[in-house]
Amino acid sequence: MADTISHDLIIIGSGLAGLRAAISAASTHDSLNIAVVAKVQVMRSHSVSAEGGTAAVIFEEEGDNKESHIYDTIKGSDFLADQDVAELLVRSMPFEIYQLEHWGMPWSRRENGRIDQRKFGGYSFPRATYAQDKVGFYEMQTLYDTCLKYDNIHFYNEWFCTSILSDAKDFRGVTAIEMKSGDFVKFKAPAGIICTGGAGRIYSFSTYAYSSTPDGLDMAYRAGLALKDMEFVQFHPTGILPSGILITEGARGEGGYLINNQGERFMKKYAPTKLELASRDVVSRAMMREIQEGRGFKHESGVDCLKIDLSHLGEDNIKKRLAGIREIGIKFSGIDVIEEPIEIRPVCHYMMGGIHTNINGATEMTGLWAAGEAACNSLHGANRLGANSTSECLVWGRITGRLAAEYAVDHPSVSSISQHQVIEEEKRIYDGLFRSRGQVNPYEIRKELTDTMDAKAHIFRNEKDLAEGLKKVRHLKQQAWKHVDDHAKEYNTNFINVMEIDSMLRTAEIVLAGAFNRRESRGAHARTDYPNRDDINFLKHTIGYLTTQEPKMSWHPVTFTRYAPMERKY
Ligand SMILES: Cc1cc2nc3c(=O)[nH]c(=O)nc-3n(C[C@H](O)[C@H](O)[C@H](O)COP(=O)(O)OP(=O)(O)OC[C@H]3O[C@@H](n4cnc5c(N)ncnc54)[C@H](O)[C@@H]3O)c2cc1C
């Protein structure tokens, strides 16, 4: 029988959201015994790769204002954001910037010593608070250092969670595998927060870490919780070739140009006012049009692309403010951006959708919250603005950490865990993978899956492609979850990968199903067969539940508090 580890609060994931939640919970009640369980070491969570900045209004005396950040977020979302949620983000963020500062965050500064901010896409004011071009790394280091000051935060690094345990609709804990030993255990706690990040590895060309698979989303989905707005996948304009590693939007914020094979700054045709700093969905679509109409370059790998030119920014400026992406260019594309333009192409970068929560990050399960990229509290609607995601992690890390801590204090003891669920989960995994028989190489399934998503659910979509994508993913699902080649107990990465691939298949299915059902174009979801936004029929969130057959799809209302939808122009 699996061993039991007991805590008052379990946080799954040690990215920005998980660490911020841990500090918030630990400082709410010092008697609480908090676990942070993650499948990678803390400083390997994808958050460390955030480059460009964290959005907040901190220069009201220079003309910025919170209403403008709220409006920019809602406009960026193509009016699908819940407006009360956007307001909560904006009002909470200035505190988070100064809080990080007090914990030791080395923000980049102006000559006069004040924290600096840079321009980012879709904003009316320079609002991205930055630390050179490595904001996520420094934020993670600052939060991790702060966590280590609390005796009541316990890290379980390299533990893979597999399922949520519940009693009817009450959270009870999770099952997990300690990767080092291969032991299967159960964590017991009255409260939990899912902070498992994004799912961008369901696409082949992606900026995400290889660990950014949707295990957390899938755990919630398998536990009967809804996934929301999963069809909205963000493609960032500038991924380098061939790897997909990101060139931050900060590069355009600092004045970088996008050019086609005529040497033309083509964005002037698509977004005459904002040019390269229109929102990401607008820029990525414009880039795909340029490529489709023959004005792209050919990368040596055969892939069509465009270029970003930073050379006019000057060596000093680039070395000071964009040192990380210069290094990335040299190491991964063989190009020094000080000297010449670098080839780039739109790349999968962010999931607007996730586990359905309310404004406070509460899921449909009592005692369970979700925060960060794994959650969909409907802040970003159909398109997220750059720099608003690290902000979201901080704000909802803090909110959910406090709420979960208070809940755990009020519900100190967990009545017994259902042994039935634990046994079922053990059977699902070990009988399914170690004792059943399959022929197909799981890595081939993963490759076919991610290539299918690149081909059928990319920036431009249509009914035929989406139907084909669904058919293909369902076929792959039938071939998966049959075997694992490596039967070792300790550090069996093959086994972990097979579990990740399983979650990718279910998540890809719901991305496709949502995209198929949404017969309009809104934000990042562009249907060539329904090119217009349709507020009469589709101004609503997509909700999907797992069934034994196809996902059960329904809708959820958008919260409007201040702005009626209008046409989006940049
Ligand atoms: C290259 C890149 C650059 C970016 N730049 C910016 C930027 O400049 N500004 C901005 O606002 N946003 C940026 N973003 C987006 C932003 O960084 C992310 O959305 C955010 O950091 C996600 O943080 P998170 O805490 O939700 O999850 P993550 O940091 O992804 O962490 C997820 C955690 O969950 C754990 N986990 C997952 N599954 C399991 C499991 N089954 N069991 C146990 N643990 C599990 C992982 O181990 C990890 O610790 C960028 C994203 C990328 C990919």
57 lines ligand 1 (CB under 6 A): no
Q: Single out the catalytic residue among 127, 252, 285, 384.
A: 252
What is the mean predicted confidence (pLDDT) over 556-560? 98
Quick check: 49 and 209 in contact, CB under 8 A?
Answer: yes
Short-list 364, 358, 348, 81, CA closest to 221: 364
The amino acid at residue 322 is: L
**Closest ligand 1 atom, residue 160 Cα:** 42
Annotation says 285 is catalytic: no
What is the mean predicted confidence (pLDDT) over 129-137? 97
Q: Is the model's pLDDT at 410 over the cut of 70?
A: yes
Cα angle: 471, vertex 476, 479; to 5 degrees: 135
Report the length, in residues, of the chain: 570
Mutate which of 45, 46, 208, 210 for ligand 1? The one with the most ligand atoms within 8 Å of its CB, which is 46
Annotation says 236 is catalytic: yes
| Residues in a beta bridge with 350 | 234
Return the pLDDT at 415. 67
313-345 burial: b if 16+ Cβ within 10 Å, else e = beeeebeebbebbbebbeeebebbbbeebbbbb
| Residues in a beta bridge with 34 | 9, 153
Q: How far apart, in Å, do the first and last CA atoms of the chain sit? A: 59
**Which pLDDT tens digit goes with each residue over 283-329?**
999 999 999 999 999 999 999 999 999 999 999 999 999 999 999 99
37 lines ligand 1 (CB under 6 A): yes
**In angstroms, what is the span from residue 198 Cα to ligand 1's centroid?**
6
Q: What is the pTM of this model?
A: 0.98
465-485 burial: b if 16+ Cβ within 10 Å, else e = bbeebbebbeebbebbbbbbe
pLDDT band for position 172 (cuts 50, 70, 90): very high
Tell me the percentage of the chain whose pLDDT exceeds 70: 99
Task: For residue 428, give the DSSP letter.
Answer: I
- The whole-chain average pLDDT of the chain stands at 96
The CATH number of 3-232+350-410 is 3.50.50.60
pLDDT band for position 568 (cuts 50, 70, 90): very high
The CATH number of 240-347 is 3.90.700.10
What is the mean predicted confidence (pLDDT) over 487-513? 96
Lowest model confidence (mean pLDDT) among 182-191, 429-438, 449-458, 518-527: 429-438
**In angstroms, what is the span from residue 496 Cα to ligand 1's centroid?**
19
Separation of CA 238 from chain center: 17
Quick check: 243 and 207 in contact, CB under 8 A?
Answer: no
Q: How far apart are CA 251 and CA 178, in angstroms?
A: 40
Ligand 1 atom 14, closest CA: 50
**Which pLDDT tens digit goes with each residue over 365-404?**
999 999 999 999 999 999 999 999 999 999 999 999 999 9
CATH topology of domain 419-557: Methane Monooxygenase Hydroxylase; Chain G, domain 1 (1.20.58)
395 lines ligand 1 (CB under 6 A): no
Q: Is the model's pLDDT at 104 over the cut of 90?
A: yes
Q: At which residue do the structure tokens 């009360």 appear?
A: 84
Q: Is the model's pLDDT at 416 over the cut of 80?
A: no
Domain ranges of the chain: 3-232+350-410, 240-347, 419-557
By DSSP bridging, strand 297-298 and strand 257-259 are unpaired
pLDDT band for position 520 (cuts 50, 70, 90): very high
Kindly state the tokens that stand for 348.
Answer: 């999968």
Q: Is the model's pLDDT at 482 over the cut of 90?
A: no
Mapped onto helix, strand or coil, the DSSP state of residue 365 is coil
**In angstroms, what is the span from residue 436 Cα to ligand 1's centroid?**
33
**Closest ligand 1 atom, residue 53 Cα:** 8
The amino acid at residue 532 is: N
Return the pLDDT at 119. 94
**Which pLDDT tens digit goes with each residue over 421-456?**
999 999 999 999 988 888 899 999 999 999 999 999
Separation of CA 449 from chain center: 19
Q: How far apart are CA 502 and CA 374, in angstroms?
A: 17
Return the pLDDT at 15. 98
**Which pLDDT tens digit goes with each residue over 224-283?**
999 999 999 999 999 999 999 999 999 999 999 999 999 999 999 999 999 999 999 999
Q: How far apart are CA 22 and CA 10, in angstroms?
A: 9
Quick check: 219 and 197 in contact, CB under 8 A?
Answer: no
